[in-house]
Structure 1
Amino acid sequence: MQPDPQDAPQARPAGVRPDAPSQTLSRALTMLEAVAERETPPSIAELAEAVDVHRSVAYRMLRTFEVHGLLRRDAAGLVRGAPGLVTLAGGVEQDLRAAALPELTAVSADLGMTAFLVVWDGRDCLTLTTVEPPRGNLVTQRPGTRHPLGVGAPGVAIAAALSAEERERLGRADDEAAGPLTGPRIEEARTRGWAQSRDEVITGVGSVAAPVPAPGRMPAALAVVFTAPSVDHGAVGERLTAAAQRLSAALGEI
Protein backbone atom coordinates (compact mmCIF):
# COMPACT_ATOMS: atom_id res chain seq x y z
CA MET A 1 0.00 0.00 0.00
CA GLN A 2 1.45 3.32 -1.08
CA PRO A 3 1.37 6.17 1.44
CA ASP A 4 -0.88 9.09 0.61
CA PRO A 5 1.28 12.09 -0.34
CA GLN A 6 -1.10 14.32 1.63
CA ASP A 7 -0.17 12.43 4.79
CA ALA A 8 3.51 13.23 4.40
CA PRO A 9 4.97 15.93 6.65
CA GLN A 10 4.95 19.31 4.95
CA ALA A 11 8.20 21.22 4.66
CA ARG A 12 8.38 24.30 6.84
CA PRO A 13 9.73 27.54 5.34
CA ALA A 14 13.31 28.27 6.36
CA GLY A 15 13.61 30.38 9.49
CA VAL A 16 10.06 29.69 10.72
CA ARG A 17 9.86 28.09 14.16
CA PRO A 18 7.25 25.34 14.67
CA ASP A 19 5.74 27.37 17.51
CA ALA A 20 5.81 30.70 15.64
CA PRO A 21 2.49 32.57 15.91
CA SER A 22 0.37 33.34 12.86
CA GLN A 23 1.27 36.84 11.67
CA THR A 24 -2.12 37.27 9.99
CA LEU A 25 -4.03 36.30 13.12
CA SER A 26 -1.74 38.43 15.29
CA ARG A 27 -2.44 41.48 13.14
CA ALA A 28 -6.18 40.85 13.23
CA LEU A 29 -6.14 40.60 17.02
CA THR A 30 -4.03 43.75 17.20
CA MET A 31 -6.75 45.54 15.25
CA LEU A 32 -9.40 44.39 17.72
CA GLU A 33 -7.23 45.51 20.64
CA ALA A 34 -6.62 48.89 19.00
CA VAL A 35 -10.37 49.51 18.75
CA ALA A 36 -11.01 48.34 22.32
CA GLU A 37 -8.23 50.35 23.93
CA ARG A 38 -8.87 53.74 22.30
CA GLU A 39 -10.92 56.38 24.08
CA THR A 40 -12.39 57.53 20.74
CA PRO A 41 -13.26 55.39 17.69
CA PRO A 42 -10.33 55.17 15.24
CA SER A 43 -10.41 55.66 11.49
CA ILE A 44 -9.30 52.96 9.05
CA ALA A 45 -6.09 54.92 8.48
CA GLU A 46 -5.37 54.94 12.21
CA LEU A 47 -6.02 51.20 12.43
CA ALA A 48 -3.71 50.57 9.50
CA GLU A 49 -0.99 52.47 11.34
CA ALA A 50 -1.67 50.60 14.60
CA VAL A 51 -1.48 47.22 12.87
CA ASP A 52 1.41 48.32 10.62
CA VAL A 53 -0.23 47.32 7.35
CA HIS A 54 -1.30 49.12 4.18
CA ARG A 55 -4.70 50.76 4.36
CA SER A 56 -6.12 48.34 1.78
CA VAL A 57 -5.09 45.39 3.96
CA ALA A 58 -6.63 47.04 7.03
CA TYR A 59 -9.84 47.54 5.06
CA ARG A 60 -10.04 43.84 4.14
CA MET A 61 -9.42 42.86 7.75
CA LEU A 62 -12.14 45.25 8.88
CA ARG A 63 -14.60 43.83 6.34
CA THR A 64 -13.96 40.35 7.76
CA PHE A 65 -14.69 41.58 11.28
CA GLU A 66 -17.86 43.29 10.01
CA VAL A 67 -19.06 40.05 8.42
CA HIS A 68 -18.59 38.28 11.77
CA GLY A 69 -20.31 41.08 13.69
CA LEU A 70 -17.27 42.03 15.76
CA LEU A 71 -16.57 45.52 14.40
CA ARG A 72 -18.68 48.13 12.61
CA ARG A 73 -18.31 51.56 11.04
CA ASP A 74 -20.47 54.45 12.14
CA ALA A 75 -21.91 57.19 9.93
CA ALA A 76 -18.60 59.06 10.04
CA GLY A 77 -16.67 55.99 8.93
CA LEU A 78 -15.03 55.50 12.33
CA VAL A 79 -14.60 51.97 13.63
CA ARG A 80 -16.45 50.78 16.73
CA GLY A 81 -17.01 47.50 18.50
CA ALA A 82 -20.06 45.55 17.33
CA PRO A 83 -22.53 43.48 19.39
CA GLY A 84 -20.75 40.26 18.45
CA LEU A 85 -17.94 41.21 20.82
CA VAL A 86 -20.36 41.03 23.74
CA THR A 87 -21.34 37.49 22.79
CA LEU A 88 -17.71 36.53 22.28
CA ALA A 89 -16.72 37.84 25.71
CA GLY A 90 -19.78 36.48 27.48
CA GLY A 91 -18.19 33.17 28.41
CA VAL A 92 -14.95 34.62 29.81
CA GLU A 93 -14.80 33.66 33.50
CA GLN A 94 -18.59 33.80 33.53
CA ASP A 95 -18.99 32.10 36.90
CA LEU A 96 -16.37 34.38 38.48
CA ARG A 97 -18.03 37.52 37.13
CA ALA A 98 -21.48 36.36 38.21
CA ALA A 99 -20.29 35.50 41.73
CA ALA A 100 -18.38 38.78 42.05
CA LEU A 101 -21.22 41.07 40.96
CA PRO A 102 -23.18 41.08 44.27
CA GLU A 103 -20.00 41.77 46.23
CA LEU A 104 -18.94 44.56 43.88
CA THR A 105 -22.40 46.12 44.03
CA ALA A 106 -22.40 46.12 47.84
CA VAL A 107 -18.84 47.46 48.09
CA SER A 108 -19.54 50.25 45.61
CA ALA A 109 -22.72 51.31 47.42
CA ASP A 110 -21.12 51.13 50.88
CA LEU A 111 -17.97 53.07 49.99
CA GLY A 112 -19.32 55.38 47.28
CA MET A 113 -16.50 54.29 44.98
CA THR A 114 -16.20 52.48 41.67
CA ALA A 115 -15.57 48.80 42.45
CA PHE A 116 -14.18 46.31 39.97
CA LEU A 117 -12.90 42.77 39.46
CA VAL A 118 -9.44 42.22 37.98
CA VAL A 119 -7.81 38.98 36.85
CA TRP A 120 -4.31 37.90 35.87
CA ASP A 121 -3.68 38.10 32.13
CA GLY A 122 -0.10 37.31 31.18
CA ARG A 123 2.06 40.20 32.37
CA ASP A 124 -0.97 42.40 33.03
CA CYS A 125 -4.01 42.56 35.23
CA LEU A 126 -7.27 42.95 33.32
CA THR A 127 -10.56 44.51 34.48
CA LEU A 128 -13.45 42.09 33.89
CA THR A 129 -16.41 43.70 35.64
CA THR A 130 -17.10 47.18 37.03
CA VAL A 131 -19.83 48.60 39.27
CA GLU A 132 -20.18 52.36 39.69
CA PRO A 133 -21.68 53.89 42.85
CA PRO A 134 -25.16 55.43 42.81
CA ARG A 135 -23.62 58.62 44.19
CA GLY A 136 -20.25 60.03 45.22
CA ASN A 137 -17.15 61.00 43.27
CA LEU A 138 -17.11 58.80 40.21
CA VAL A 139 -13.92 57.42 38.70
CA THR A 140 -14.62 55.36 35.59
CA GLN A 141 -12.92 51.97 35.27
CA ARG A 142 -13.94 50.35 32.01
CA PRO A 143 -14.05 46.58 31.54
CA GLY A 144 -11.11 45.62 29.37
CA THR A 145 -8.78 48.13 31.02
CA ARG A 146 -5.38 46.65 31.75
CA HIS A 147 -2.12 47.66 33.39
CA PRO A 148 1.10 45.82 34.32
CA LEU A 149 1.42 43.42 37.23
CA GLY A 150 3.11 44.85 40.31
CA VAL A 151 1.87 48.38 39.53
CA GLY A 152 -1.07 49.98 41.34
CA ALA A 153 -3.05 48.28 44.09
CA PRO A 154 -4.77 45.81 41.71
CA GLY A 155 -1.43 44.86 40.14
CA VAL A 156 0.14 44.33 43.55
CA ALA A 157 -2.87 42.33 44.78
CA ILE A 158 -2.77 40.07 41.72
CA ALA A 159 0.99 39.58 42.17
CA ALA A 160 0.31 38.65 45.80
CA ALA A 161 -2.25 36.07 44.64
CA LEU A 162 0.29 34.34 42.38
CA SER A 163 2.27 31.40 43.68
CA ALA A 164 5.94 31.93 44.47
CA GLU A 165 6.83 29.84 41.42
CA GLU A 166 4.63 31.94 39.13
CA ARG A 167 6.09 35.19 40.44
CA GLU A 168 9.64 33.91 40.10
CA ARG A 169 8.96 32.72 36.56
CA LEU A 170 7.44 36.02 35.48
CA GLY A 171 9.89 38.25 37.33
CA ARG A 172 10.33 41.51 35.53
CA ALA A 173 11.49 39.89 32.26
CA ASP A 174 11.97 42.63 29.69
CA ASP A 175 8.82 44.56 30.61
CA GLU A 176 10.00 47.96 31.82
CA ALA A 177 6.43 48.96 32.73
CA ALA A 178 5.96 46.09 35.19
CA GLY A 179 6.65 46.48 38.87
CA PRO A 180 8.61 44.01 40.97
CA LEU A 181 6.67 40.81 41.63
CA THR A 182 8.57 40.00 44.82
CA GLY A 183 9.67 42.03 47.81
CA PRO A 184 8.25 43.68 50.95
CA ARG A 185 5.27 45.31 49.23
CA ILE A 186 4.04 42.05 47.74
CA GLU A 187 4.59 40.17 51.00
CA GLU A 188 2.76 42.90 52.94
CA ALA A 189 -0.24 42.54 50.65
CA ARG A 190 -0.18 38.76 51.12
CA THR A 191 0.05 39.09 54.90
CA ARG A 192 -2.58 41.75 55.58
CA GLY A 193 -4.82 40.77 52.67
CA TRP A 194 -4.90 44.03 50.68
CA ALA A 195 -2.74 46.58 48.84
CA GLN A 196 -2.96 50.33 48.34
CA SER A 197 -1.58 52.81 45.83
CA ARG A 198 -1.87 56.37 44.58
CA ASP A 199 -0.65 58.08 41.41
CA GLU A 200 0.80 54.82 40.08
CA VAL A 201 -1.51 54.04 37.18
CA ILE A 202 -3.36 57.37 36.80
CA THR A 203 -2.17 60.63 38.35
CA GLY A 204 -4.51 61.82 41.08
CA VAL A 205 -6.25 58.46 41.46
CA GLY A 206 -5.86 56.12 44.42
CA SER A 207 -6.80 52.48 44.73
CA VAL A 208 -7.15 49.68 47.26
CA ALA A 209 -7.37 46.03 46.21
CA ALA A 210 -7.68 42.63 47.89
CA PRO A 211 -6.69 39.31 46.29
CA VAL A 212 -9.38 36.64 46.06
CA PRO A 213 -8.16 33.40 47.67
CA ALA A 214 -9.33 30.80 45.16
CA PRO A 215 -6.79 27.99 44.66
CA GLY A 216 -7.06 26.30 41.29
CA ARG A 217 -8.67 29.32 39.66
CA MET A 218 -7.32 32.28 37.73
CA PRO A 219 -5.73 34.74 40.24
CA ALA A 220 -8.14 37.62 40.81
CA ALA A 221 -8.68 40.64 43.04
CA LEU A 222 -11.45 43.02 44.07
CA ALA A 223 -10.54 46.71 43.94
CA VAL A 224 -11.86 50.26 44.23
CA VAL A 225 -10.61 53.54 42.75
CA PHE A 226 -11.10 57.06 44.11
CA THR A 227 -9.86 60.63 43.85
CA ALA A 228 -10.43 61.69 47.48
CA PRO A 229 -7.07 62.75 49.00
CA SER A 230 -7.83 61.34 52.45
CA VAL A 231 -9.18 57.80 52.62
CA ASP A 232 -9.09 55.31 55.49
CA HIS A 233 -7.14 52.70 53.56
CA GLY A 234 -7.34 50.23 56.43
CA ALA A 235 -11.14 50.35 56.59
CA VAL A 236 -11.45 50.08 52.81
CA GLY A 237 -8.93 47.23 52.75
CA GLU A 238 -10.82 45.31 55.43
CA ARG A 239 -14.09 45.82 53.55
CA LEU A 240 -12.56 44.48 50.35
CA THR A 241 -10.87 41.59 52.15
CA ALA A 242 -14.20 40.51 53.65
CA ALA A 243 -15.82 40.72 50.21
CA ALA A 244 -12.97 38.71 48.68
CA GLN A 245 -13.39 36.01 51.34
CA ARG A 246 -17.12 35.78 50.63
CA LEU A 247 -16.44 35.60 46.90
CA SER A 248 -13.93 32.80 47.52
CA ALA A 249 -16.54 30.87 49.50
CA ALA A 250 -19.12 31.38 46.75
CA LEU A 251 -16.69 30.13 44.10
CA GLY A 252 -16.07 27.03 46.19
CA GLU A 253 -19.76 26.18 45.92
CA ILE A 254 -19.88 26.50 42.12
Structure 2
Amino acid sequence: MATLQGLDRGLRALELVSLTSEGLTVADLAARLEIDRAIAYRIVRTLEEHGLVARQGKRVRLGAGAATLAGRFQQQLVLAAQPVLQELADATGTSAFLTVAHGVRECVPVAGAQPTVQHGPVQVGYRIGVRHPLERGANGVAILALQPPVPGESEEVALAREQGYSVTSGQLQQGATGIAAGFEVAGAAGASVGVVAMHTFDIEPVAARVKEAAARLASLGGA
Protein backbone atom coordinates (compact mmCIF):
# COMPACT_ATOMS: atom_id res chain seq x y z
CA MET A 1 0.00 0.00 0.00
CA ALA A 2 1.32 3.42 -0.97
CA THR A 3 2.18 5.85 1.85
CA LEU A 4 2.75 9.60 2.04
CA GLN A 5 6.52 9.99 2.25
CA GLY A 6 6.50 13.31 4.07
CA LEU A 7 3.98 12.16 6.67
CA ASP A 8 5.84 8.89 7.12
CA ARG A 9 9.12 10.72 7.75
CA GLY A 10 7.46 13.11 10.18
CA LEU A 11 5.94 10.27 12.19
CA ARG A 12 9.21 8.37 12.22
CA ALA A 13 11.02 11.49 13.40
CA LEU A 14 8.47 11.96 16.18
CA GLU A 15 8.95 8.36 17.28
CA LEU A 16 12.74 8.73 17.32
CA VAL A 17 12.49 11.86 19.45
CA SER A 18 10.11 10.13 21.85
CA LEU A 19 12.62 7.34 22.48
CA THR A 20 15.39 9.61 23.78
CA SER A 21 14.98 11.47 27.06
CA GLU A 22 17.88 13.79 26.22
CA GLY A 23 16.48 14.66 22.78
CA LEU A 24 18.06 14.54 19.33
CA THR A 25 19.74 17.12 17.14
CA VAL A 26 18.53 17.80 13.61
CA ALA A 27 21.74 16.16 12.41
CA ASP A 28 20.90 13.07 14.47
CA LEU A 29 17.46 12.87 12.90
CA ALA A 30 18.84 13.32 9.40
CA ALA A 31 21.32 10.50 9.95
CA ARG A 32 18.78 8.10 11.44
CA LEU A 33 16.16 8.84 8.78
CA GLU A 34 18.84 8.78 6.06
CA ILE A 35 17.71 12.09 4.62
CA ASP A 36 19.29 15.46 3.88
CA ARG A 37 19.73 17.75 6.89
CA ALA A 38 17.63 20.46 5.21
CA ILE A 39 14.70 18.02 4.91
CA ALA A 40 15.11 17.02 8.55
CA TYR A 41 15.05 20.68 9.55
CA ARG A 42 11.75 21.21 7.67
CA ILE A 43 10.26 18.16 9.39
CA VAL A 44 11.24 19.54 12.79
CA ARG A 45 9.82 22.96 11.94
CA THR A 46 6.51 21.35 10.89
CA LEU A 47 6.29 19.30 14.09
CA GLU A 48 7.13 22.45 16.07
CA GLU A 49 4.26 24.33 14.43
CA HIS A 50 1.89 21.69 15.81
CA GLY A 51 3.48 21.65 19.25
CA LEU A 52 4.58 18.04 18.91
CA VAL A 53 8.26 18.82 19.42
CA ALA A 54 10.19 21.70 20.95
CA ARG A 55 13.82 22.73 20.53
CA GLN A 56 15.99 23.43 23.55
CA GLY A 57 19.29 24.66 22.24
CA LYS A 58 20.33 22.26 19.49
CA ARG A 59 18.25 19.36 20.79
CA VAL A 60 14.72 18.42 19.80
CA ARG A 61 12.42 16.99 22.48
CA LEU A 62 8.74 16.13 22.67
CA GLY A 63 6.46 19.15 22.93
CA ALA A 64 3.33 19.77 24.95
CA GLY A 65 1.18 18.78 21.99
CA ALA A 66 2.46 15.23 22.23
CA ALA A 67 1.43 15.08 25.89
CA THR A 68 -2.02 16.39 24.99
CA LEU A 69 -2.49 13.67 22.37
CA ALA A 70 -1.26 11.02 24.80
CA GLY A 71 -3.75 12.24 27.42
CA ARG A 72 -6.60 12.05 24.92
CA PHE A 73 -5.50 8.55 23.94
CA GLN A 74 -5.59 7.44 27.58
CA GLN A 75 -9.11 8.85 27.93
CA GLN A 76 -10.17 6.88 24.86
CA LEU A 77 -8.43 3.79 26.24
CA VAL A 78 -10.39 4.06 29.50
CA LEU A 79 -13.68 4.23 27.61
CA ALA A 80 -12.76 1.35 25.33
CA ALA A 81 -11.49 -0.71 28.27
CA GLN A 82 -14.70 -0.54 30.30
CA PRO A 83 -16.54 -3.42 28.58
CA VAL A 84 -13.35 -5.51 28.68
CA LEU A 85 -13.04 -4.88 32.42
CA GLN A 86 -16.69 -5.73 33.02
CA GLU A 87 -16.35 -9.01 31.14
CA LEU A 88 -13.22 -9.84 33.13
CA ALA A 89 -14.93 -9.03 36.44
CA ASP A 90 -17.98 -11.14 35.59
CA ALA A 91 -15.91 -14.06 34.29
CA THR A 92 -13.69 -14.22 37.36
CA GLY A 93 -16.03 -12.96 40.08
CA THR A 94 -13.44 -10.39 41.14
CA SER A 95 -12.83 -6.66 40.93
CA ALA A 96 -11.10 -5.81 37.63
CA PHE A 97 -8.89 -2.78 37.08
CA LEU A 98 -6.88 -0.92 34.45
CA THR A 99 -3.65 0.73 35.57
CA VAL A 100 -1.30 3.10 33.72
CA ALA A 101 2.30 3.94 34.62
CA HIS A 102 2.71 7.41 36.14
CA GLY A 103 6.27 8.44 35.36
CA VAL A 104 8.94 5.79 35.90
CA ARG A 105 8.35 4.98 39.57
CA GLU A 106 4.61 4.98 40.15
CA CYS A 107 1.39 3.73 38.62
CA VAL A 108 -2.23 4.75 38.97
CA PRO A 109 -5.47 2.77 38.48
CA VAL A 110 -7.60 4.67 35.96
CA ALA A 111 -10.67 2.42 35.58
CA GLY A 112 -12.34 -0.47 37.33
CA ALA A 113 -15.35 -2.80 37.27
CA GLN A 114 -17.18 -4.95 39.80
CA PRO A 115 -18.76 -8.34 39.01
CA THR A 116 -22.49 -8.24 38.36
CA VAL A 117 -22.95 -11.11 40.80
CA GLN A 118 -20.91 -10.86 43.98
CA HIS A 119 -18.63 -13.79 44.83
CA GLY A 120 -17.59 -14.20 48.43
CA PRO A 121 -18.60 -12.17 51.50
CA VAL A 122 -16.22 -9.28 50.80
CA GLN A 123 -15.62 -7.44 47.50
CA VAL A 124 -12.53 -5.31 47.02
CA GLY A 125 -13.28 -1.73 46.02
CA TYR A 126 -10.24 -0.61 44.02
CA ARG A 127 -9.26 3.00 44.63
CA ILE A 128 -9.21 4.68 41.21
CA GLY A 129 -6.76 7.56 40.87
CA VAL A 130 -4.60 6.67 43.89
CA ARG A 131 -0.93 6.32 42.91
CA HIS A 132 1.43 3.78 44.40
CA PRO A 133 4.99 2.56 43.68
CA LEU A 134 5.44 0.22 40.73
CA GLU A 135 7.22 -2.29 42.97
CA ARG A 136 4.08 -2.85 45.08
CA GLY A 137 1.01 -4.67 43.85
CA ALA A 138 0.38 -6.97 40.92
CA ASN A 139 -0.51 -4.09 38.60
CA GLY A 140 2.81 -2.29 39.09
CA VAL A 141 4.88 -5.48 38.96
CA ALA A 142 3.22 -6.39 35.64
CA ILE A 143 4.21 -3.00 34.21
CA LEU A 144 7.81 -3.41 35.40
CA ALA A 145 7.88 -6.85 33.74
CA LEU A 146 7.37 -5.15 30.35
CA GLN A 147 10.86 -3.68 30.63
CA PRO A 148 14.16 -5.50 29.95
CA PRO A 149 15.78 -7.18 32.97
CA VAL A 150 17.88 -4.90 35.17
CA PRO A 151 20.39 -5.76 37.91
CA GLY A 152 18.81 -6.04 41.32
CA GLU A 153 15.20 -6.36 40.16
CA SER A 154 12.86 -8.37 42.38
CA GLU A 155 12.07 -12.04 41.86
CA GLU A 156 8.42 -11.07 41.43
CA VAL A 157 9.23 -8.94 38.38
CA ALA A 158 11.46 -11.63 36.84
CA LEU A 159 8.78 -14.29 37.38
CA ALA A 160 6.07 -12.03 35.94
CA ARG A 161 8.19 -11.48 32.83
CA GLU A 162 8.62 -15.24 32.45
CA GLN A 163 4.97 -16.14 33.04
CA GLY A 164 3.37 -13.18 31.32
CA TYR A 165 1.46 -12.18 34.46
CA SER A 166 2.15 -11.19 38.08
CA VAL A 167 0.65 -12.42 41.34
CA THR A 168 0.95 -10.61 44.68
CA SER A 169 -0.80 -10.94 48.03
CA GLY A 170 -1.35 -8.39 50.75
CA GLN A 171 0.89 -5.69 49.29
CA LEU A 172 -1.73 -2.99 48.77
CA GLN A 173 -4.50 -4.33 50.98
CA GLN A 174 -4.21 -6.92 53.72
CA GLY A 175 -5.69 -10.25 52.68
CA ALA A 176 -6.15 -9.27 49.01
CA THR A 177 -4.61 -11.21 46.14
CA GLY A 178 -4.03 -9.58 42.77
CA ILE A 179 -3.22 -10.92 39.32
CA ALA A 180 -2.22 -8.59 36.47
CA ALA A 181 -0.76 -8.65 32.98
CA GLY A 182 1.05 -5.75 31.36
CA PHE A 183 0.74 -4.30 27.87
CA GLU A 184 2.30 -1.42 25.96
CA VAL A 185 0.32 1.79 25.73
CA ALA A 186 0.97 5.02 23.86
CA GLY A 187 2.10 7.96 25.94
CA ALA A 188 3.08 5.96 29.02
CA ALA A 189 5.78 3.62 30.26
CA GLY A 190 3.24 0.82 30.21
CA ALA A 191 -0.14 -0.33 31.48
CA SER A 192 -1.65 -3.37 33.08
CA VAL A 193 -5.03 -5.00 33.49
CA GLY A 194 -5.85 -7.33 36.33
CA VAL A 195 -8.11 -8.51 39.11
CA VAL A 196 -8.06 -8.39 42.90
CA ALA A 197 -10.12 -10.33 45.44
CA MET A 198 -10.28 -11.21 49.10
CA HIS A 199 -11.49 -14.76 48.46
CA THR A 200 -9.35 -17.61 47.14
CA PHE A 201 -9.42 -18.55 43.47
CA ASP A 202 -7.55 -20.76 41.01
CA ILE A 203 -4.59 -18.73 39.78
CA GLU A 204 -4.02 -20.28 36.35
CA PRO A 205 -7.53 -19.98 34.82
CA VAL A 206 -7.90 -16.43 36.19
CA ALA A 207 -4.43 -15.52 34.90
CA ALA A 208 -5.42 -16.82 31.47
CA ARG A 209 -8.46 -14.51 31.50
CA VAL A 210 -6.30 -11.59 32.59
CA LYS A 211 -3.75 -12.20 29.82
CA GLU A 212 -6.57 -12.40 27.26
CA ALA A 213 -7.91 -9.04 28.48
CA ALA A 214 -4.42 -7.51 28.22
CA ALA A 215 -4.11 -8.73 24.63
CA ARG A 216 -7.48 -7.20 23.76
CA LEU A 217 -6.55 -3.86 25.29
CA ALA A 218 -3.17 -3.86 23.55
CA SER A 219 -4.98 -4.29 20.23
CA LEU A 220 -6.98 -1.13 20.92
CA GLY A 221 -3.90 1.00 20.45
CA GLY A 222 -1.13 -0.16 22.73
CA ALA A 223 1.75 -2.14 21.22
Normalising by structure 1, report the TM-score: 0.53
Q: What SS is found at the alignment partner of 2:156?
A: helix
Specify the code of the residue in structure 1 equivalent to 2:215: Q
Aligned partner of 2:106 in structure 1 is: 124
Aligned partner of 2:139 in structure 1 is: 154
Instruction: Pick 1 or 2: higher relative contact order, CA cutoff 8 A, min separation 6.
Output: 2
Measured at CA, do residues 192 and 203 of structure 1 come closer, stay the same or move farther in structure 2, by a change above 3 Å? Answer: same
1:104 matched to 2:85: yes
1:141 matched to 2:126: yes
Where do 1:168-247 residues align within 5 Å?
Answer: 182-214=153-185, 217-228=188-199, 230-247=200-217
Aligned partner of 1:249 in structure 2 is: 219
CA RMSD of aligned residues (A): 2.4
How far apart in 1 are the matches of 2:80 and 2:189? 14
How far apart in 2 are the matches of 1:248 and 1:185? 22
Measured at CA, do residues 132 and 111 of structure 1 come closer, stay the same or move farther in structure 2, by a change above 3 Å? Answer: same
Measured at CA, do residues 189 and 143 of structure 1 come closer, stay the same or move farther in structure 2, by a change above 3 Å? Answer: same
Shift of 1:105: 1.0
1:201-220 alpha-carbon deviations (Å, 9 max, x no partner): 11111111111244775400
Measured at CA, do residues 94 and 218 of structure 1 come closer, stay the same or move farther in structure 2, by a change above 3 Å? Answer: farther
How far apart in 1 are the matches of 2:165 and 2:189? 18
Structure 1: 5+ residue stretches without partners: 1-89, 169-179
How far apart in 2 are the matches of 1:237 and 1:106? 14
Shift of 1:92: 7.0
Specify the code of the residue in structure 2 equivalent to 1:238: A
How far apart in 1 are the matches of 2:73 and 2:218? 18
1:95-147 alpha-carbon deviations (Å, 9 max, x no partner): 22123212111001111111010011122110000111112242101210222
Measured at CA, do residues 252 and 116 of structure 1 come closer, stay the same or move farther in structure 2, by a change above 3 Å? Answer: closer
Q: What SS is found at the alignment partner of 1:245?
A: helix
Structure 2: 5+ residue stretches without partners: 1-70
Q: Say whether the 8 Å CA contact 1:161–1:220 is kept in structure 2.
A: no
Aligned partner of 2:75 in structure 1 is: 94
Specify the code of the residue in structure 2 equivalent to 1:212: F
Q: What SS is found at the alignment partner of 2:220?
A: helix
